[in-house]
């Protein structure tokens, strides 16, 4: 290395050193006065700003024993340069007098990080062991050690050497050469900062250097001042830059002092976040800090302060799971901290008090006992005695909780008409509240029926009559109030009596009379041989409130209090209409058994069904994963593939897919135009709309969960004509038909097709599909407006002619009976409602009502399919396979399911005790 004797510009002020000053520096000593004249002192230098430290090349301050300071480029080795040089010098001195094996031993000790002077002289056995350890080092480790001790020239000599030759030549050299290395290590090489110097390299004797303040140390000093002043942004910027400057291999723990500053910054930052009310952010900061430095002064107290606020807020919001989560995070780091003990004590006391309440009422009110113990477990499942009581009381009174996006309507009135288009929620509520003589057990090509109420039934008089026998005693699992033949006949007679508000003209055309044969037997006389006896009597058993007897009232009061059933409601029901909404449980609908199971039953079943509504799909999915409910009913289609892969949940496919169709209002004057109906069908690309609006994700689109359809029937149903394929998109033809419709419907002064009104349910999927349809129809000149939710129901009830289309989601289980109500938009198919249809459709529907042979019925349904397709009396879009998912705690569910609650009276639920085995955040470096 060349030694420069030129004048050197050192110091932040840019002043030049004189040549005499440089000679003073090179001499064995320099007078303090001379040093002060030529070099700045440490007190005179200003600490660089953060911007300067980040922008300029790394610069070290070399503080001489004379008091002067030399600013130079980054010196090596670092950090703690003087100590590292001394250590290397000591090892070289020891190697000078050793043989090859001894030198290997010393190099091995150097690489290990041992002190140069061992506590005792090395014995031959130790030397041999260390020499073997040296031979086991990698080639790179040996080259690096030689370069650190002998310099670059020594390392260059080993270039290209490997294996045994490398290990042999690494320790070659005379005693004098090693003594020369000692002298070389006694000088510190510097690179001065003056760009005008031809040779800025310089060296100074190590013994003349008092200390070296590295560039990194200057950054730490500036960071200290920034932290003290509260400039967290600049401090973090400086500290993170310093962290990036150092190799993790050379300094795995970072620059000395860096971690302490980062910890201090995190502590200060957490305090500021606490002041701003960002408690969870503050808690996260402190968890990271305590993972690195568990004993950081005040760290646990600050963490507890944040946790205390979070736990209190969660308790105030009655989110006890979240409260226990934050308490678990605090307990994980400070189990004996006063804040931990405070909340543990509060939660435990509340849980034990509820446990005592449950034990006091268990014998008289199992439902209240189960409610109390559930609440106790929700607050603190670890409280003494709660786990044992939880299993006992929840097994006696089992509650099935279903997660949904909307609840069944609480009541129907003039101000709140029944939902239209009908919703899944209304269908679920109706199913739970209704008692049926027959219900569909499964569906393949045709429906198959069963009955829980009847012991048997048989046709007589060649099928024109049928006798029915009710069970003498209902099984304990059936939540059915006492029901006799008089109850059933009273409901049927109300539906057959033209003077009754429950009169059904369609049923009156099918049944000519009923009579009671005994308290448990009755006979139905049909006007003609029915296609399926079960299908005619599958509607809920209904009795008007005026016919409630004293016996029935007493039984009802025992379960439902003084509340009378609303007009037209089902009286004999497996589950009472939902319990009046409680302000304590908003967004929850509750259905309870009309007849509780006896206390001595060998086993118990679902006693209560709760539907809990969530704000949106993501919240619903998150709650299901967290175990907040047992049954997930018809989740969003794009979530289904992920759930099907989840082995921790049970999946049950619905036996009937959901058909998405546009129902045409037969009373709409505009929709009587055939060209308009066909234009609406031909314009959209239904498959693309299904993929984009219904499935949305590539995984769901490729899962085969949906298909375009040509009729509202299930594609696998025997009612679907296999020769008819869905129509393809044809925008050109649709546009031409739209123009034809505009000429036909246009009026003087207002040409064109008027804006169409579509009724729809409040549903994310439906809204997405309608947006796509509206955009497509707009391309052919058709405009639509969507009326949804309660407004749609009100418009349909008050102005049945003022809407044109309704978006329906159908699950046709019995097409022969369900197609006529769809086409006529009437629950009770009457002659007047049929007159609104074309001659072909009217003839087909009348023939279908009168058919008594399955083969003839299938043929008629195929003809009806062809005529509906030709006239476009309904616009089929696509059908989607639906699923119900349950936690493994739900038992006795038999799929595929015709209805989400099919057989719920026989289901069992093993309630899960809430646990505190939270997946705590993975924090730390």
Q: Cis check for the bond before 113: say yes or no (omega within 30 of 0).
A: no
- Of the candidates 771, 777, 686, 678, the residue with the CA atom closest to the CA atom of residue 728: 686
Sequence-ordered strand ranges (E) for 209-280: 209-213
Distance between CA atoms of residues 695 and 701, nearest Å: 6
pLDDT at 169: 84
Residue 410 has pLDDT above 80, yes or no: no
- The token pair that represents 252 in the structure block: 């795995």
Residue 255 has pLDDT above 90, yes or no: no
Residue 407 has pLDDT above 50, yes or no: yes
- Do 514 and 492 meet the contact criterion of CB atoms below 8 Å apart? yes
Span 133-156, average pLDDT: 85
Q: For residue 509, report the phi and psi dihedrals to the nearest 5 degrees.
A: -75, -25
Listed range (322-326, 464-468, 474-478, 538-542) with the worst mean pLDDT: 538-542
Q: For residue 332, report the phi and psi dihedrals to the nearest 5 degrees.
A: -60, -25
Residue 16 pLDDT level (bands cut at 50, 70, 90): very low
What is the 8-class DSSP label of residue 694?
I
Distance between CA atoms of residues 190 and 199, nearest Å: 11
Distance between CA atoms of residues 31 and 13, nearest Å: 23
Long-range contacts of 497-501, Cβ-Cβ distance < 8 Å, separation of 24 or more:
500/544, 501/544, 501/567, 501/568
Residue 64 has pLDDT above 50, yes or no: yes
Map residue 690 onto helix, strand or coil.
helix
pLDDT at 546: 42
Distance between CA atoms of residues 780 and 737, nearest Å: 9
Residue 672 pLDDT level (bands cut at 50, 70, 90): very high
- Of the candidates 425, 876, 866, 873, the residue with the CA atom closest to the CA atom of residue 690: 876
pLDDT at 247: 59
Span 818-829, average pLDDT: 91
Relative orientation angle of helices 366-379 and 338-361, to the nearest 10 degrees: 170
Residue 639 pLDDT level (bands cut at 50, 70, 90): very high
Give residue-wise pLDDT tens across range 490-526: 889 989 999 988 899 999 999 999 999 999 999 999 9
pLDDT at 739: 93
Give residue-wise pLDDT tens across range 833-849: 888 888 889 999 999 99
- Do 432 and 574 meet the contact criterion of CB atoms below 8 Å apart? yes
- Do 762 and 789 meet the contact criterion of CB atoms below 8 Å apart? yes
Residue 283 has pLDDT above 70, yes or no: yes
The residues that bridge with 63 in the sheet, in sequence order, are 69, 211
Which helix (H) or strand (E) covers residue 582, if one does?
none
- The token pair that represents 684 in the structure block: 């959209």
- The token pair that represents 833 in the structure block: 């409602």
Residue 35 has pLDDT above 90, yes or no: no
- The token pair that represents 720 in the structure block: 């679907």
Residue 21 pLDDT level (bands cut at 50, 70, 90): very low
Span 321-340, average pLDDT: 93
- The token pair that represents 669 in the structure block: 């004057």
Span 222-248, average pLDDT: 86
Distance between CA atoms of residues 893 and 148, nearest Å: 74
pLDDT at 146: 86
- Of the candidates 550, 575, 171, 561, the residue with the CA atom closest to the CA atom of residue 408: 575
Which helix (H) or strand (E) covers residue 810, if one does?
strand 805-810
pLDDT at 572: 59
343: left (phi over 0), alpha (psi -120 to 50) or beta: alpha
Q: For residue 914, report the phi and psi dihedrals to the nearest 5 degrees.
A: -60, 140
User: How many residues are present in the chain?
Assistant: 925
Distance between CA atoms of residues 8 and 5, nearest Å: 8
Question: Cα dist. 377→88, 271, 912 in Å?
Answer: 65, 34, 10
- Of the candidates 201, 171, 153, 29, the residue with the CA atom closest to the CA atom of residue 106: 171
pLDDT at 556: 41
Residue 197 pLDDT level (bands cut at 50, 70, 90): confident
CB atoms within 10 A of CB 772: 18
- Tell me the average pLDDT of the chain: 86
Signed CA dihedral, 687, 690, 695, 698: sign only: positive
The set of residues, in sequence order, having a beta carbon less than 8 Å from that of 675 and lying 6+ positions away, is 737, 738, 740, 741, 744
Distance between CA atoms of residues 499 and 618, nearest Å: 50
Residue 51 has pLDDT above 60, yes or no: yes
Listed range (149-158, 412-421, 507-516, 770-779) with the worst mean pLDDT: 412-421
Question: Cα dist. 673→32, 381, 670, 678 in Å?
Answer: 109, 65, 6, 9
Residue 552 pLDDT level (bands cut at 50, 70, 90): very low
Residue 413 pLDDT level (bands cut at 50, 70, 90): low
Residue 472 has pLDDT above 60, yes or no: yes
Span 624-645, average pLDDT: 94
pLDDT at 415: 61
- Among 10-24, 120-134, 669-683, which range has the highest average pLDDT? 669-683
Residue 922 pLDDT level (bands cut at 50, 70, 90): low
Distance between CA atoms of residues 821 and 506, nearest Å: 10
- Between 875 and 195, the more confident residue is 875
Span 533-547, average pLDDT: 73
The set of residues, in sequence order, having a beta carbon less than 8 Å from that of 259 and lying 6+ positions away, is 253, 292, 293
Residue 284 has pLDDT above 60, yes or no: yes
∠ Cα 291 295 296 (to 5°):
85
- What is the DSSP pairing of strand 187-191 with strand 209-213? unpaired
**DSSP states along 872-924:** TSEEEEEEE--EEEEETTEE---SSBSSTTTTGGG-EE-PPPP----------
Burial class (CB in 10 A: 0-12, 13-18, 19+), 599: exposed
- Do 863 and 719 meet the contact criterion of CB atoms below 8 Å apart? no
- Do 882 and 580 meet the contact criterion of CB atoms below 8 Å apart? no
Residue 823 has pLDDT above 60, yes or no: yes
758: left (phi over 0), alpha (psi -120 to 50) or beta: beta
- Of the candidates 843, 835, 836, the residue with the CA atom closest to the CA atom of residue 860: 843
Residue 228 has pLDDT above 60, yes or no: yes
Give residue-wise pLDDT tens across range 556-613: 443 433 444 444 444 456 666 677 766 667 889 999 988 899 999 999 999 999 999 9
Give residue-wise pLDDT tens across range 698-752: 999 999 999 999 999 999 999 999 999 999 999 999 999 999 999 988 765 567 8
The residues that bridge with 784 in the sheet, in sequence order, are 756
Give residue-wise pLDDT tens across range 850-867: 998 999 999 999 999 999
Which helix (H) or strand (E) covers residue 204, if one does?
strand 201-205
Residue 394 has pLDDT above 90, yes or no: yes
- The token pair that represents 588 in the structure block: 């929850």
- Between 341 and 96, the more confident residue is 341
């Amino acid at each position: 290395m060349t030694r420069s004797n030129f004048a050197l510009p050192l110091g932040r002020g840019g002043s030049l050193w004189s040549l005499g000053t440089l000679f003073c520096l090179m001499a064995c000593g320099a007078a303090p006065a001379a040093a002060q004249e030529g070099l700045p002192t440490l007190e005179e230098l200003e600490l660089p700003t953060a911007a300067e430290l980040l922008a300029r090349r790394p610069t070290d301050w070399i503080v001489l024993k004379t008091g002067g300071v030399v600013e130079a480029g980054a010196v090596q080795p670092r950090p703690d340069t003087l100590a590292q040089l001394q250590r290397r010098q000591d090892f070289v001195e020891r190697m000078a007098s050793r043989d090859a094996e001894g030198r290997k031993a010393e190099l091995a000790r150097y690489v290990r990080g041992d002190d140069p002077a061992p506590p005792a002289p090395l014995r031959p056995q130790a030397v041999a062991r260390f020499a073997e350890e040296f031979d086991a080092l990698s080639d790179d480790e040996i080259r690096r050690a030689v370069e650190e001790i002998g310099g670059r020239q020594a390392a260059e000599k080993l270039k290209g050497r490997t294996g045994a030759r490398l290990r042999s030549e690494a320790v070659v050299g005379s005693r004098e050469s090693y003594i020369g290395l000692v002298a070389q290590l006694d000088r510190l090489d510097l690179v001065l900062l003056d760009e005008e110097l031809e040779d800025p390299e310089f060296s100074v004797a190590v013994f003349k250097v008092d200390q070296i303040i590295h560039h990194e140390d200057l950054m730490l000093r500036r960071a200290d001042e920034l932290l003290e002043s509260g400039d967290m942004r600049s401090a973090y910027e400086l500290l993170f830059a310093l962290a990036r400057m150092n190799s993790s291999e050379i300094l795995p723990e970072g620059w000395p002092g860096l971690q302490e500053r980062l910890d201090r910054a995190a502590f200060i930052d957490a305090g500021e976040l606490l002041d701003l009310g960002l408690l969870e952010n503050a808690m996260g900061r402190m968890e990271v800090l305590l993972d690195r430095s568990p004993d950081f002064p005040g760290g646990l107290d600050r963490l507890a302060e944040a946790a205390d606020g979070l736990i209190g807020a969660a308790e105030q919001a009655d989110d006890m799971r979240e409260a226990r989560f934050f308490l678990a995070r605090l307990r994980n780091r400070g189990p004996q901290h006063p804040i931990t003990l405070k909340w543990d004590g509060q939660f435990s006391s509340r849980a034990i008090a509820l446990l005592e309440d449950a034990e006091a009422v268990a014998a008289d009110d199992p439902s209240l006992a189960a409610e109390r113990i559930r609440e106790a477990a929700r607050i603190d499942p670890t409280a003494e005695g709660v786990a044992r009581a939880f299993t006992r009381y929840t097994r006696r009174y089992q509650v099935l909780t279903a997660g949904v996006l909307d609840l069944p309507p609480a009541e129907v009135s003039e101000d709140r008409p029944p939902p239209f288009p009908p919703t899944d929620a209304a269908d679920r509520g109706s199913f739970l509240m209704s008692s049926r003589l027959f219900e569909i057990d499964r569906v393949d090509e045709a429906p198959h029926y069963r009955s829980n109420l009847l012991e048997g039934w048989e046709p007589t008089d060649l099928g024109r009559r049928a006798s029915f026998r009710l069970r003498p005693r209902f099984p304990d699992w059936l939540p059915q109030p006492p029901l006799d033949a008089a109850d059933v006949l009273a409901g049927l007679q109300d539906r057959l009596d033209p003077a009754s508000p429950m009169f059904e003209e369609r049923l009156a055309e099918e049944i000519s009379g009923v009579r009671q044969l005994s308290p448990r037997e009755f006979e139905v006389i049909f006007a003609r041989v029915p296609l399926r006896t079960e299908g005619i009597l599958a509607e809920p058993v209904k009795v008007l409130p005026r016919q409630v007897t004293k016996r029935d009232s007493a039984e009802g009061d025992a379960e439902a209090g003084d509340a009378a059933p609303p007009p037209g409601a089902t009286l004999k029901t497996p589950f009472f209409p939902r319990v009046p909404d409680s302000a304590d449980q908003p967004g929850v609908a509750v259905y309870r058994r009309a007849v509780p199971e006896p206390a001595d039953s060998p086993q118990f079943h679902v006693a209560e069904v709760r539907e809990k509504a969530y704000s949106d799909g993501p919240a619903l999915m998150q709650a299901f994963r967290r175990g907040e409910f047992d049954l997930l009913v018809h989740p969003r289609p794009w979530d289904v593939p992920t759930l099907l892969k989840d082995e921790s949940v049970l999946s049950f496919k619905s036996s009937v897919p959901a058909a998405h169709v546009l129902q045409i209002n037969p009373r709409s004057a505009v929709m009587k135009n055939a060209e308009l109906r066909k234009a609406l069908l031909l314009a959209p690309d239904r498959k693309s709309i299904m993929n984009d609006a219904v499935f949305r994700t590539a995984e769901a689109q490729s899962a085969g969960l949906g298909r375009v359809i040509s009729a509202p029937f299930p594609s696998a149903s025997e009612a679907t004509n296999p020769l008819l394929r869905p129509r393809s998109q044809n925008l050109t033809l649709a546009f031409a038909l739209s123009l034809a419709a505009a000429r036909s419907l246009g009026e003087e002064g207002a040409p064109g097709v008027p804006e169409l009104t579509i009724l729809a349910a409040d549903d994310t999927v439906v809204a997405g599909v309608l947006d796509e349809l509206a955009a497509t129809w707009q391309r052919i000149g058709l405009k639509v407006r969507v009326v949804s939710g309660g407004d749609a129901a009100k418009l349909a009830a008050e102005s049945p002619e003022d809407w044109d289309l309704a978006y329906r989601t159908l699950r046709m289980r019995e097409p022969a009976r369900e197609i006529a109500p769809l086409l006529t938009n009437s629950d009770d198919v009457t002659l007047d409602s049929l007159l609104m249809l074309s001659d072909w459709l009217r003839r087909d529907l009348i023939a279908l009502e009168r058919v008594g042979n399955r083969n003839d019925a299938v043929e008629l349904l195929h003809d009806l399919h062809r005529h509906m397709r030709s006239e476009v009396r309904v616009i089929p879009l696509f059908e989607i396979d639906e699923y119900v998912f349950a936690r493994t705690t739900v038992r006795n569910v038999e799929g595929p399911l015709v209805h989400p609650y099919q057989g719920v009276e026989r289901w069992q639920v093993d309630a899960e005790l809430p646990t505190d085995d939270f997946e705590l955040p993975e924090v730390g470096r």
